[in-house]
Structure 1
């Protein structure tokens, strides 16, 4: 408002001074009145300047208002960065935890598989040993040979030995009284150990052995 009064007063001074000059030049009687108006305008001009000088400057509240949102924005950005960093650290920790659990599970599975393979190998070895032992036992021992007596049938002899004999020779017609057949059994132990038994009419009438223990 004070600036407006000053401008109006200044413009009035110029206008009325010019008009007063023109009136003097033309020798009109209203020149005095124009000078009076110019003086009033000058007073307004001076008042406008003085009022403007005495007015208090506009407080810097605008800067504060502008700086406050800026500070708040920086704080929010900082907070967002911290939250993002915390989220990344949490995700990294969870990933590391998952990888550790996966590695432990794989290690445990490998150990279990290794243990299962070892147990299976042990079982296979035991079965193989049993099979070899059983294979070695499929023969005749000296004690079993001693239990065989003349007059026994082939079936009775097999029941004592536990395994069928190998046919070495046959003479005569099967089923007749003079049908003769010879069997051989390998010994349970001893290299080349064996026993022979001759049956006539399905009755044992001779036996022999070599190297039985």
Structure 2
């Protein structure tokens, strides 16, 4: 799948979310008002799709365009802090893939990663059908790189620990359906060793920024 196709998928996904908001906003007011007591104290599972790009300048030169990022997320209520704040446990499994060319040799390279986030997610109730949230915690990541270069290993894999922080808004629709608009920053430093001295041998930050939307179910 090329870059244009990925961007089209991301665009249509966000458009579908916007359409759902417009078509159900009026009919859902009664539902949310009737379910306020339990609306903010149940587990939530959602699927997010975002646009990811590296925060490291050199990686942005190699992988000059961002791409599709897919996340499966879940949260579970732990403690009602105040009348408006609730603390949740949070977990997410993620996948992203990028392709590009080396800076000097212009040789093809690609990288894919499967990060896993675990942390805490405070949620603030804005209104009967809207919440603000942020989440923070450690991030385990597995990264695989494939290179078409004579100066580095063809296939290299690494794993390690970093951290993440994200923030966003939940909008509750009918039948416990939730729309999620979010932004995320991730930090994941790794060290790739080259076979020769002309390639990177230093530690590099493989994390970055993700912005997007999702749809979920409030159990």
| TM-score bin (small chain) | under 0.3
- Higher relative CO (Cα under 8 Å, sequence separation at least 6) belongs to 2
Structure showing the higher strand proportion among its residues: 2
TM-score (norm 1): 0.21
Structure showing the higher helix proportion among its residues: 1
Which has the greater radius of gyration? Answer: 1
